[in-house]
Structure 1
Amino acid sequence: STLARGKQVGWGIFGEWIATPTDRVTVIPSFRWDWWNNFDGVVVSETGSLTKPPDNVVTVLNPKLGMQYRVTDSIRIGASVYQAFRAPTLNELYRGFTFGGFSFLPNERLSPERLTGGEAKIEGELLQRRRLTFRATGHYETVKDQILFITQDASTARRQNVGRTSTIGADVDVKFQASEHLSLSAGYAYANSTIISFPPVPAREGLRVPNVSRHQVALGLTLGHPDRIQLTVMGRYLSKQFADDLNTQPIADFVVVDASLQKRIGKSLRLFFDAENLTNRQYIATQTATQTGPIKTLGAPLLVLGGVTLNY
């Protein structure tokens, strides 16, 4: 085994300006400036040799420009372009682990991820008393130097910066207030996330990014009134995904049902009970390839939580 450690410090500044050149148009330019420093890294190998990775200091400016146009009193359209930044964590830089005889190695020389993207949306409210609300968004992003586990051999994977990945996707959310005591909701998300450039290993190009479901569906039902007693039931569906960069370890699609019961007590107290995986369904959350076959990890079983919240 190896011993590794390091330190990180970072801070940022955020600014935003909301402009309304006309009654129907809103323009929102913003920025975030980040400074990140990874330092005092030390890696001690199995033989006792000591390596000190170079310190890494990064300064990044991430701009964003958003615009919204009010078509009518109940319909709005908008678009935005943006950049984002994510520094590698200490876990990714220094922590390795072994599971089922398969070793996952850190990488003390990881670079930060940089995302560039854009989206367009339409949202609004329909029917009397705006009982139907909806939102539809399409988006496209590319990530430079995304950090993924890359398979090295039959028993080892190592965190590496992948040249570039891309995601094209869409999200649709609808909520219908059928009555004062009944509301229905539905959501769908599509994400096609692939590796588009990886010069060190061109064979990975065109493969799907691990642990990203292409299709996700959510359906919900809420009964009752928040000022008295309220029951919410939510079902979630995730389509097949892959647990590895080679796309050889598929994780089957699954459905999970959750529920929440809340009861207001007086003006300040609320009693709640939450149940996750209400049907106690067994499903595969992830799996790891080993020389003797894949080791599959089950998702969380039925979990019931209860408590009291105090608002004052």
Structure 2
Amino acid sequence: RSATTPTGRAGLRRDLGPGFLRAAAYAGFRPPSLNELHRPFRVGNDVTEANAALKPERLYGVEAGGGVEGRAGSLTATLFLNRLDDPVANVTIGTGPATFPTAGFIPAGGVLRQRQNVGRIDAAGLELEGRANLSERLALTGAVMATKAEVDGGADAPQLTGKRPAQAPRLAASAGLEWKAAQRLDLFLAARHEGARFEDDLNTRRLAAATTLNLSARYAVNTATRLEVELRNALDAEVATGRTGDGITSYDAPRSLRVGVVYVR
């Protein structure tokens, strides 16, 4: 198969001394992956079928925002409206125990899904991002994104109309602290929060909100070599990433320590 899909982006920016205003409009697309087209998969008793007839997703959006920048820090805000036509979703076909022509027998508690194009997704949101330079050596950063997203399944998937897209939290936020502790030593603290979201298309499997904390340090041995140490998920939070119909929950990585050497010639 082959197709032609136009894409582009146009933007305007107006400088206002220490601040600025900006606006943009854009269009883009994503072709379905080979996995989505041809590779089914199974997690526990949940089976997801591929679909060789998938069409590309097409995105249209506009955004507007502004901000201020100075020696003390910066603050930016952006409002956006997006429409995603023909989004690819794992659509529920039926539940077990039952036998289906494509997947065969699905046990009790299991679900059969297929990747399908499902009408469109409308999303509106607000992004805030800021930085405060508390001193020459210390800076505080933060960001918040709030998104209202809703599926319009149309004639292809009317059961999804009014539902929220899977794996899409309403709120995500982060905060960080950057400290230049010494001439060669930089220390970082980063916290991230993601609100509750749904694992499935029908919004029946809720994944709890989670907050993680990362700690890291960078030490410059010389101009070319840097040592790095990072403690990821320092509080060992349980971050659920998926849940099957028979109660199996998948989690993101637990607390882990990474040590590395960076050499730039």
TM-score (norm 2): 0.91
User: Aligned AA for 2:21?
Assistant: I
* Counterpart contact for 1:288–1:296, Cα < 8 Å: yes
Shift of 1:225: 5.5
**Is 1:299 aligned to 2:228, yes or no?**
no
Query: Alpha carbons of 1:146 and 1:227: their partners in 2 closer, same or farther (altered >3 Å)?
Result: farther
Counterpart Cα distance in 1 of 2:53 and 2:226: 49
Secondary structure in 2 matching 1:152: strand
Counterpart Cα distance in 2 of 1:97 and 1:203: 23
**Any residues of structure 2 matched to 1:148-163 within 5 Å, and which?**
148-154=89-95, 155-163=111-119
- Alignment match, 1:32: none
Counterpart Cα distance in 1 of 2:24 and 2:151: 24
Counterpart Cα distance in 1 of 2:173 and 2:183: 29
- Alignment match, 1:220: 176
Listed as ranges, the gaps of 5+ residues in structure 1 are: 1-55
- Alignment match, 1:70: 15
- Alignment match, 1:57: 2
- Alignment match, 1:35: none
Deviates more, 1:182-191 or 1:217-226: 217-226
- Alignment match, 1:87: 31
**Any residues of structure 2 matched to 1:140-179 within 5 Å, and which?**
140-154=81-95, 155-179=111-135
Q: Using the aligned pairs only, state the percent identity.
A: 26
Secondary structure in 2 matching 1:57: coil
Counterpart Cα distance in 2 of 1:282 and 1:201: 33
User: Aligned AA for 1:223?
Assistant: W
TM-score (norm 1): 0.78
Shift of 1:294: 2.4
Shift of 1:226: 8.2
- Alignment match, 1:16: none
Counterpart Cα distance in 1 of 2:158 and 2:171: 27
Counterpart Cα distance in 2 of 1:212 and 1:247: 11
Q: Deviations over 1:138-167 (max 9, x none)?
A: 101001100010000112011000111111
Listed as ranges, the gaps of 5+ residues in structure 2 are: 96-110
Counterpart Cα distance in 2 of 1:132 and 1:283: 32
- Alignment match, 1:30: none
* Counterpart contact for 2:210–2:238, Cα < 8 Å: no
**Is 1:98 aligned to 2:39, yes or no?**
no
Counterpart Cα distance in 2 of 1:264 and 1:282: 33
Counterpart Cα distance in 1 of 2:172 and 2:122: 18
Query: Quick one: which of 69, 73, 81 aligns to 1:132?
Result: 73
Query: Alpha carbons of 1:311 and 1:246: their partners in 2 closer, same or farther (altered >3 Å)?
Result: same
Query: Alpha carbons of 1:96 and 1:226: their partners in 2 closer, same or farther (altered >3 Å)?
Result: farther
RMSD over aligned Cα atoms? 1.3
User: Aligned AA for 1:182?
Assistant: L
User: Aligned AA for 1:214?
Assistant: R
Structure 1 residue ranges (4+ consecutive) displaced by more than 2 angstroms after TM superposition? none
Counterpart Cα distance in 1 of 2:55 and 2:182: 47
- Alignment match, 1:310: 263
Counterpart Cα distance in 2 of 1:120 and 1:277: 34
Q: Which has the higher contact order (CA 8 A, sep 6+)?
A: 2
- Alignment match, 2:148: 192
* Counterpart contact for 1:198–1:205, Cα < 8 Å: yes
Higher strand share: 1
Shift of 1:216: 0.6
Shift of 1:288: 1.8
- Alignment match, 1:261: 217
Query: Quick one: which of 218, 243, 254 aligns to 2:199?
Result: 243
